[in-house]
Chains A and B, each alone.
Chain A
């Protein structure tokens, strides 16, 4: 069925490698075609929204399931695993944030962030063409042109999603800055840290603080985006090796072999990247909120 479809596709219009990658890098957004302006607030990326919300529901649902069935007796494997996660996150939070009342909010936040980002990253493990092909079929059967059926399945490979999360962390940091130090105390810190309280140094200090906040937030979002985007792109390039199949001849078989080996190796390495990036995103959230608690 799929080869038939592919052959039919090839007869109609064979996408070359560049078009294939470009097609897979185009979002399904509200305008229906590729976003041209660098910043356009009127465009919503429907695929990112859908998959991030779906993954959020899955993550929170799993936690809810574990909490609902939790026993104080001998826990099952699932409950044990969730307890392990909760304990790991709350241990990390204890080491970084010393305020008990803040931890009541920040520890669950970090746990949610960790699981959510992990599930969103884990969308990368699905074969790159699986969901886009299914969507192509659905879109085609709804009367649309299958060549314009764009879909990107990894929400964290969309810079809008990662910046959305890192800006939320920034807002939480600002909130805790004001809550812990008071609005006056925080403004005082903005102008007197890190260099000193001499009036000449006020603008310098303020600029440094602004740069610090901007750098933290941008690197927070860019790090996750860059890792997931590069990972997704490499999966696409690996898929291209298999797509170069022209029949049973030496180059095709060699490329198919390379496709298999490279795909396997990259998927295994990607398991580490996915878990590590989710963990780093969580840890940086904790560290930034922890910094908001510390006076200079």
Chain B
């Protein structure tokens, strides 16, 4: 049973960690581009902001789904 606990802990760490890396890189790339483009064309800022939030949600989705699954694994294993 201890081995299972160890594996679940490792798996949850990997799911959340790798997902976070991807989501953070994605958000960083997009946020940087957003700042660049709104510095270049400030009149587009509002239109771009809406699209940026939309994409932020899309980028975050896989990560949040992963976090939910990992939390579920963790709670159902450790909180028995």
Q: Which residues of A contact B71 (CB under 8 A)?
A: 230, 233-234, 237
The number of chain A residues with a CB under 8 A from chain B is 24
CB atoms of A227 and B61 under 8 A apart: yes
Q: How far is the CA of A95 from the CA of B54 in the complex (A)?
A: 15
Q: Does B64 belong to the interface (CB within 8 Å)?
A: yes
The segment from A58-66, A143-151, A181-189, A274-282 found at the interface with B is A274-282
Interface membership of A21, Cβ < 8 A: yes
Q: Does B42 contact A (CB under 8 A)?
A: no
**Distance of A121 Cα from B24 Cα, bound (Å):** 24
Q: Return chain A residues, CB-CB under 8 Å to B65.
A: 222-223, 226-227, 230
Against A, the Cβ 8 Å flags (1 = close, 0 = not) of B37-76 are: 0000000000000100110111011001101100110011
Residues of B within 8 A of A276 (CB): 53, 56-57
Q: Which residues of B contact A222 (CB under 8 A)?
A: 61, 65
Q: A18-B80, A230-B71 are in contact. Are A279 and B64 (CB under 8 A)?
A: no
B57: chain A residues within 8 A (beta carbon): 223, 276-277, 279-280
Decide if A280 touches B75 in the complex (CB within 8 Å).
no
**Shortest distance from the beta carbon of A286 to any chain B beta carbon, whole Å:** 11
B79 touches A17 (CB 8 A): yes
Q: Are B54 and A18 in touch, CB under 8 angstroms? A: no
Total number of residue pairs linking A and B with CB closer than 8 Å: 57
CA distance A167 to B75 in the complex (A): 31
B-side contacts of A22, CB under 8 Å: 76
Please measure, in the bound complex, the distance between the C-alpha atom of A230 and the C-alpha atom of B60, giving whole angstroms.
12
Q: A276-B56, A279-B53 are in contact. Are A226 and B68 (CB under 8 A)?
A: yes
Known: A222-B65, A233-B68. A21 touches B58 (CB 8 A): no
Query: Out of A16, A92, A223, which one reaches B80, CB within 8 Å?
Result: A16
**Could you tell me the distance in whole angstroms from the C-beta of A236 to the nearest C-beta in chain B?**
8
CB atoms of B61 and A223 under 8 A apart = yes
B54 touching A230, Cβ below 8 Å: no
Point out which of A17, A223, A231, A277 has the most chain B C-beta atoms below 10 A from its C-beta.
A223
B65 to chain A, nearest CB (A): 3
